[in-house]
């Protein structure tokens, strides 16, 4: 059974991410963990001493959070009844990223689905600080769903690479899982550099090609240019339904968040963005 963690702040965007997750996995047996983290508007003395429940005091915030999760579950079941899906509700006083980490480790979560904007709906925040932190720190895949992206079958998955990753089986398992679930085609995108590939990159490329043999895929080499420009250029010719990258430290994934130009292009507001952790080789 696949275990999926979906944080929610009860905003329309958060529900949109839940809807996407449910439809993406409609043909798979899954257990969804619906998570809401809360904090009191004023840091009260009972919270400073510990959880109010632990010292015998009523915790109104926890009660409200749990009640809201129950209402959310009713809404989900009314709209998406699926005998393959079960749900676990979890409310916690914590920071969002820390609680996601806790649940991922404790419950052996397979992947996390998040919206790209929170309750504030700030238009200038394309990914949101919590989503970026989750992408950078999680040991499981994180799938970010744009607020304005209606569900489309993920038939075409774009996978940009600079061949700097020593590809083991583990980092790509989830990408392959989606591809198999929806009979998707994986498009490998590489931006050529004037100096060509190093011997290490050639070896990594060969390993990746070996892993892709049993999957429907195609390889694309684009002339030297900025990564964002290359992705946008590719999408103009071949519309994609999901963008996927490996979070490899010191690779172009890291530079993607450091470059200010990303805030002006709105790249990640177009399609779901899947970030795969860089794990140990299988």
| 199-251 pLDDT per residue, tens | 999 999 999 999 999 999 999 999 888 777 888 888 888 889 999 888 776 55
Domain ends where: 86, 115, 145?
145
Residue 276 included in any domain: no
Residue 244 included in any domain: yes
pLDDT score for 18:
95
Domain ends where: 145, 169, 204?
145
Contact 282, 171 (CB under 8 A): no
Q: Is the pLDDT of residue 50 over 70?
A: no
Of 111, 109, 65, 114, give the one whose Cα is nearest residue 89.
Answer: 65
> What is the distance in angstroms between the CA of the first residue and the CA of the last residue of the chain?
21
pLDDT score for 263:
38
The verdict on 96 and 168 lying in the same domain is no
Q: Is the pLDDT of residue 261 over 50?
A: no
Query: If you average pLDDT over every residue of the chain, what do you get?
Result: 81
pLDDT score for 254:
52
The verdict on 121 and 140 lying in the same domain is yes
What is the value of pTM for the model shown?
0.83
Most confident of 2-6, 48-52, 195-199: 2-6
Q: What share of the chain has pLDDT > 70, as a percent?
A: 76
The verdict on 62 and 179 lying in the same domain is no
The Cα 113–Cα 7 span in angstroms is: 7
The verdict on 8 and 129 lying in the same domain is yes
The Cα 199–Cα 219 span in angstroms is: 19
Residue 62 included in any domain: yes
For residue 84, what pLDDT band results from cuts at 50, 70 and 90?
very high
For residue 256, what pLDDT band results from cuts at 50, 70 and 90?
low
Residue 73 included in any domain: yes
Q: Is the pLDDT of residue 15 over 50?
A: yes
Report the domain count for the chain.
2
Domain ends where: 120, 145, 170?
145
pLDDT score for 245:
86
Residue with the bigger pLDDT between 54 and 108: it is 108
Residue 139 included in any domain: yes
Instruction: Compute the average pLDDT of residues 113-133.
Output: 58
Residue 282 included in any domain: no
Radius of gyration, alpha carbons of the chain:
20
DSSP line for 84-151: TEEEEEEEEES-HHHHHHHHHHHHT--EEEEESS-TT--TT-SS-HHHHHHHHH-SS-EEEE-TT---
The verdict on 201 and 115 lying in the same domain is no
Poorest-confidence range of 52-56, 81-85, 227-231, 247-251?
52-56
Q: How many CB atoms lie within 10 A of CB 109?
A: 22
Q: How many CB atoms lie within 10 A of CB 93?
A: 17
The verdict on 129 and 162 lying in the same domain is no
Q: Is the pLDDT of residue 122 over 60?
A: no
Domain of 58?
2-145
**Residue-wise over 177-195: b if at least 16 C-beta within 10 A, else e?**
bbbeebebbbbbbbbeeee
Q: Could you tell me the sign of the dihedral formed by the alpha carbons of 94, 116, 215, 180, in that order? A: positive
The verdict on 21 and 114 lying in the same domain is yes
The verdict on 101 and 181 lying in the same domain is no
Q: In the 8-state DSSP scheme, what is residue 50?
A: S
Instruction: Compute the average pLDDT of residues 5-17.
Output: 92
For residue 95, what pLDDT band results from cuts at 50, 70 and 90?
confident
The verdict on 117 and 43 lying in the same domain is yes
Contact 65, 72 (CB under 8 A): no
pLDDT score for 280:
47
Q: Is the pLDDT of residue 168 over 90?
A: no
The verdict on 140 and 160 lying in the same domain is no
pLDDT score for 267:
43
Poorest-confidence range of 31-45, 217-231, 268-282?
268-282
Q: Could you tell me the sign of the dihedral formed by the alpha carbons of 130, 140, 30, 167, in that order? A: positive
The Cα 145–Cα 16 span in angstroms is: 8
Residue 151 included in any domain: no
CA angle 274, 77, 154 (to 5 degrees): 25
Say which CATH number the domain at 84 has.
3.40.50.620
The verdict on 127 and 253 lying in the same domain is no
The verdict on 119 and 163 lying in the same domain is no
Residue with the bigger pLDDT between 204 and 52: it is 204
Residue 168 included in any domain: yes
Instruction: Compute the average pLDDT of residues 170-198.
Output: 91
Instruction: Compute the average pLDDT of residues 102-116.
Output: 93
């Amino acid at each position: 059974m696949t275990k999926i963690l979906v944080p929610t702040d009860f905003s329309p965007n958060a529900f949109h991410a839940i809807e996407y997750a449910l439809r993406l996995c409609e043909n798979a047996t899954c257990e969804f963990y619906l998570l809401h983290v809360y904090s009191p508007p004023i840091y009260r003395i009972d919270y400073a001493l510990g959880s109010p429940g632990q010292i015998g005091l009523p915790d109104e915030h926890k009660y409200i959070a749990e009640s809201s999760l129950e209402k959310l579950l009713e809404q989900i079941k009314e709209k998406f009844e699926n005998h393959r899906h079960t749900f676990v509700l979890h409310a916690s006083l914590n920071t969002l990223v820390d609680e996601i980490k806790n649940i991922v480790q404790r419950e052996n979560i397979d992947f996390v689905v998040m919206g790209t904007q929170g309750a504030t709906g700030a238009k200038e925040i394309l990914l949101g600080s919590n989503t970026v932190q989750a992408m950078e720190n999680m040991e499981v895949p994180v799938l970010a769903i744009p607020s304005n992206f209606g569900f489309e079958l993920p038939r075409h998955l774009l996978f940009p690479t600079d061949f700097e990753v020593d590809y083991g089986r583990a980092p790509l398992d989830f990408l392959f899982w989606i591809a198999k679930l929806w009979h998707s085609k994986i498009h490998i995108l590489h931006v050529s550099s004037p100096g060509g590939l190093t011997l290490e990159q050639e070896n990594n490329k060969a390993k990746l090609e070996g892993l892709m043999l049993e999957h429907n895929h195609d390889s694309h080499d684009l002339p030297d240019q900025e990564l964002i420009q290359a992705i946008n250029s590719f999408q103009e010719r071949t519309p994609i339904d999901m963008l996927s990258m490996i979070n490899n430290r010191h690779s172009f994934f890291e530079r993607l968040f450091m470059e200010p130009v990303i805030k002006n292009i709105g790249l990640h507001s177009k399609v779901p963005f899947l970030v795969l952790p860089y794990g140990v080789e299988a």
